[in-house]
Amino acid sequence: MTLENNTNKSRRKFLKVSSAAGGGMLIGFNWMGCQSEAKETVVKEVMKAIPKVWSEFDAFIKIGETGLVTIMSQNPEIGQNIKTSMPMIVAEELDVAWKDVVVEQAPLNEEWYPRQVAGGSQSIRSTWETLRKAGATAKQLLMETAAEKWEADLADCTVSEGIISHKDGRKISYGEVASDASKRETPDPKTIKLKDPKDFKIIGKSQKNVDMEGILSGKPLFGIDFKREGMLIATALRPTAFGQVLESFDDSEARKVSGVVDVIKFGDKIAVLAEDTWAAMKGKKALTAKWKQDKKAEDSAFHTKTLLEHLDKKSKEPRRVDGDVDKAFANADKVIEKIYEAPFLPHNCMEPMNFFAHVTDEKVEMIGPIQTPAWTESRIAELLKRDKEDITIEMTRMGGGFGRRLYGDFALEAAEISSISKKPIKMIFSREDDMLAGTYRPASAYKFKVGIKDNKITAYHLTEACFNGEMFGTMPNNFPCGAIENYRVDCHKLESNISTGAWRAPYANFLAYAEQAFLDELAGILDQDAVQFRLDLFEKAKANPVGEEHNYEIDKFVAVINLAAEKAGWNKGNKNLGFSAYYSHNTYVAEVAEVEMQDDRPVVKKITCAVDCGIVVNPVGAMNQIEGGIIDGIGHALYGDFSFTEGQAQSSNFNQYRLIRMSEAPEVEVHFIESHNDPTGLGEPTLPPVGGAVANAINAISGKRLYRQPFVKYFKELG
């Protein structure tokens, strides 16, 4: 294979070994040269001996002579557990026992790996075939080697758990043929056979998080934990409001703080470099700066007014037009209009933004938590005017991503500070920096206008107003398009100088609530059952689809709706339920919320969830994502409140910004649609529908419709 000469110099291969209490071997990777007391990150107890020689098969697989297998995990790990599930896919096709596999995080390498991005719930979906082929190709090479050695026919050989068997009873292990196999020419990809999903042995069986032991022992797994001899800690003072530029600053007091080494200006920011974190934080507090408001100082009243005034306008280029909504409204017996509003939201990853950078004349070394290493590398190259070849990026485990770490602004800051100071530095945000200098979920508003004639929906007009963005191209083709004769979507992309970006399940995170709350209200107005109302629309879309396309598969959508309704006991007498169903990130989800009033406030007791995500790669991890998406979604729908005054965010820490707590997390019951279809993703799709399910359940118990998030603002009226 070709990779023998393609050694990546930044790849870490140091294995540390010690005896395990249980009789096996504990295997660990030296974590990024950390100077920590606990140098060895115990990764996994393995029963195979530690190899002296590793044979590399491709960018994903190394096999030792003892049969131990290392699988590289190519994508950034933000808590979506792909560091476990992606290597499981390789191991499945390679046909090795999962207990003989150790997983190592791959660095950025665009030649070796496709799409090294954590975003859009696409990690598994976009690499499924590549990972399977990587495993199957190595398996083919190993089998060919064994067959040649035995002078046997390949067709007479089989593999199970890393042991190749000939039908005459001869056996040989992967470890014994790995070295020869790795030198063979890669077979024609067309000859590579993938398994029938019904033969899967690893995929579909729950496997524990591969970083579990590191997490349980407090090992330095995260970017913020990184250390290097001689490294300084950098903090930065940024403008206090959006739209400001730096006029002047005084660093005399900051320089007096013990441990502070240097203060540098970069752009409109000032960095304090210190020997340790506390000194860097104190140094930053001691800085004084004058800022000038260069662009409009926006506040929330401006945002609300701007959004609302656009909802009555049509956009120049509507995103979808079927029939003529205006004509249908003119002929309707009744026209209903509802408006839904959402605030900007910060991400609040539990690990604040940080990055290590060491910029020298020879190289740019970057290590830290980043969802988009390739894009970030390009931007650093541009910023520092360096060749991409000079830059290496290593991805650490991330203390949450949720979209915030797509943007890499913090990595660019680190690179700039190191470039100016000529020192290896780790730049860290305080929580206040994190919340005040965010890249927020944009505030948005939606207006739904529906025409009803003879108790049927004849027209549906959705208007979106959103800052700095608009719905993805495919989203206007979401349900219920295809089911309604006259249908139109208008989008207004409005300007704000607040920095905005993707936030877990972009657009869908709020649009789904608005749409699902509206459909529920509509079903009520038409005196129809909320579930049957949706099923009838699907039936119409199936029998007589309107328009050229819609982006959902009706049978899959209907299946999750029916499953959730059945499992939750919909229409079986429980009056405290709310229904919601949404298709996003290629996954179908239906959810039923059960809510009750306790001490004059609504309490979410249970969410019953049905999901079609194709093949479930790692059930325990999949369930964790689903529970997390639901709990996170409830938390933000209930409490996510964020506002601006004179360009400045009004919440800067968790005493002013409420996240959901343990006592508020409801029971979550999950049902998967059994499927042999290729897997989709789960990091996001269960979040969008849950706000609607909860709002609809609150209406069921109180008769009160909720049109704005966060719902906590309605609690007084409900009680």
Partner 1 sequence: MAEYKINVNGKEKSLKADPDTPLLWVLRDKLDLPGTKYGCGIAQCGACTVLLDGKAVRSCSLPISILKEQKITTIEGLSEDLTHPLQEAWREFDVPQCGYCQAGQIMSAAALLKENKSPSEEQIDNHMQGNICRCGTYLRIKKAIQSASKKL
Inter-residue contact 175 to 62 (CB < 8 Å): no
- The answer to whether the bond into 710 is cis (omega within 30° of 0) is yes
Rg from Cα positions in the chain: 28
Is 667 an interacting residue with respect to partner 1 (CB under 8 A)? yes
What are the backbone angles phi and psi of residue 613, rounded to the nearest 5°?
A: -120, 25
Nearer to partner 1, 78 or 592 (CB): 78
Member of 17, 154, 212, 330 binding partner 1 (CB under 8 A): 212
Residue 431: name the closest of 394, 403, 406, 399 by CA.
399
Tokens for 458, please give them.
């004849």
Determine the Cα–Cα distance for residues 507 and 584; give it in Å rounded to an integer: 10
Q: Which one-letter amino acid corresponds to residue 206?
A: S
Is 122 an interacting residue with respect to partner 1 (CB under 8 A)? no
Member of 234, 349, 502, 577 binding partner 1 (CB under 8 A): 349
Which stretch, 64-72, 466-474, 529-537, 654-662, contacts partner 1 (CB under 8 A)?
A: 654-662
Nearer to partner 1, 239 or 401 (CB): 401
Segment 488-527, which members bind partner 1 (CB under 8 A)?
A: none
Nearer to partner 1, 254 or 325 (CB): 254
Which stretch, 96-104, 291-299, 469-477, 663-671, contacts partner 1 (CB under 8 A)?
A: 663-671
Determine the Cα–Cα distance for residues 511 and 636; give it in Å rounded to an integer: 14
Member of 205, 227, 314, 493 binding partner 1 (CB under 8 A): 227
How many chain residues interact with partner 1 (CB under 8 A)? 73
Residue 264: name the closest of 380, 427, 387 by CA.
427
Nearer to partner 1, 220 or 578 (CB): 220
Residue 391: name the closest of 413, 422, 358, 425 by CA.
358
Which stretch, 4-12, 75-83, 96-104, 509-517, contacts partner 1 (CB under 8 A)?
A: 75-83
Member of 211, 413, 515, 612 binding partner 1 (CB under 8 A): 211
Residue 246: name the closest of 272, 266, 260, 262 by CA.
266
Is 80 an interacting residue with respect to partner 1 (CB under 8 A)? yes
Nearer to partner 1, 39 or 338 (CB): 39
Tally DSSP H helices, then E strands, for the chain: 17, 30
Inter-residue contact 271 to 305 (CB < 8 Å): no
Inter-residue contact 675 to 579 (CB < 8 Å): no
Is 37 an interacting residue with respect to partner 1 (CB under 8 A)? yes
Nearer to partner 1, 408 or 621 (CB): 621
Using alpha carbons, list the distances in angstroms from residue 633 to 505, 625, 639, 659.
Answer: 10, 12, 10, 10
Inter-residue contact 464 to 490 (CB < 8 Å): yes
Nearer to partner 1, 219 or 534 (CB): 219
Nearer to partner 1, 120 or 629 (CB): 629
Is 712 an interacting residue with respect to partner 1 (CB under 8 A)? no
Nearer to partner 1, 506 or 629 (CB): 629
To the nearest whole angstrom, how small is the minimum distance from the Cβ of residue 82 to partner 1? 11
Which stretch, 100-108, 325-333, 417-425, 662-670, contacts partner 1 (CB under 8 A)?
A: 662-670
Residue 3: name the closest of 115, 145, 138, 149 by CA.
138
Inter-residue contact 644 to 435 (CB < 8 Å): no
Is 556 an interacting residue with respect to partner 1 (CB under 8 A)? no
Tokens for 654, please give them.
């968790």
Which stretch, 146-154, 295-303, 638-646, 649-657, contacts partner 1 (CB under 8 A)?
A: 649-657
CA angle (428 as vertex; 423, 431 as ends), nearest 5: 165
Which stretch, 426-434, 481-489, 672-680, 707-715, contacts partner 1 (CB under 8 A)?
A: 426-434
Which stretch, 11-19, 28-36, 134-142, 545-553, contacts partner 1 (CB under 8 A)?
A: 28-36
Is 284 an interacting residue with respect to partner 1 (CB under 8 A)? no
Segment 605-634, which members bind partner 1 (CB under 8 A)?
A: 620-621, 624-625, 627-632
Member of 603, 659, 704, 713 binding partner 1 (CB under 8 A): 659
Using alpha carbons, list the distances in angstroms from residue 610 to 38, 265, 384, 514, 690.
Answer: 43, 53, 48, 20, 12
Site string for partner 1, 234-263 (x = CB under 8 A): ------------------------xx----
Nearer to partner 1, 66 or 430 (CB): 430
Is 206 an interacting residue with respect to partner 1 (CB under 8 A)? yes
Using alpha carbons, list the distances in angstroms from residue 309 to 441, 469, 641, 706.
Answer: 20, 17, 22, 20
Residue 71 parent element (H or E): strand 69-73
Is 352 an interacting residue with respect to partner 1 (CB under 8 A)? yes
Segment 365-424, which members bind partner 1 (CB under 8 A)?
A: 397-402
Is 222 an interacting residue with respect to partner 1 (CB under 8 A)? yes
Inter-residue contact 517 to 706 (CB < 8 Å): yes
Residue 352: name the closest of 405, 309, 388, 307 by CA.
405
Nearer to partner 1, 67 or 119 (CB): 119
Is 19 an interacting residue with respect to partner 1 (CB under 8 A)? no
Is 688 an interacting residue with respect to partner 1 (CB under 8 A)? no
What are the backbone angles phi and psi of residue 416, rounded to the nearest 5°?
A: -65, -45
Q: What is the DSSP string of 634-652?
A: HHHHHH----EETTEES--
Is 599 an interacting residue with respect to partner 1 (CB under 8 A)? no
Longest alpha-carbon distance in the chain = 83
To the nearest whole angstrom, how small is the minimum distance from the Cβ of residue 209 to partner 1? 6
Is 38 an interacting residue with respect to partner 1 (CB under 8 A)? yes
Paired with 160 in beta bridges are: 163
Inter-residue contact 163 to 173 (CB < 8 Å): yes
To the nearest whole angstrom, how small is the minimum distance from the Cβ of residue 258 to partner 1? 6
What are the backbone angles phi and psi of residue 368, rounded to the nearest 5°?
A: 165, -175
Segment 295-324, which members bind partner 1 (CB under 8 A)?
A: none
To the nearest whole angstrom, how small is the minimum distance from the Cβ of residue 282 to partner 1? 8
Is 18 an interacting residue with respect to partner 1 (CB under 8 A)? no
Is 10 an interacting residue with respect to partner 1 (CB under 8 A)? no
Member of 653, 676, 713, 719 binding partner 1 (CB under 8 A): 653
Is 56 an interacting residue with respect to partner 1 (CB under 8 A)? no
Is 87 an interacting residue with respect to partner 1 (CB under 8 A)? no
Which stretch, 34-42, 493-501, 558-566, 640-648, contacts partner 1 (CB under 8 A)?
A: 34-42
Q: What is the DSSP string of 703-717?
A: -----BS-GGGGHHH
Determine the Cα–Cα distance for residues 590 and 693; give it in Å rounded to an integer: 9
Residue whose structure tokens are 């959902």:
552
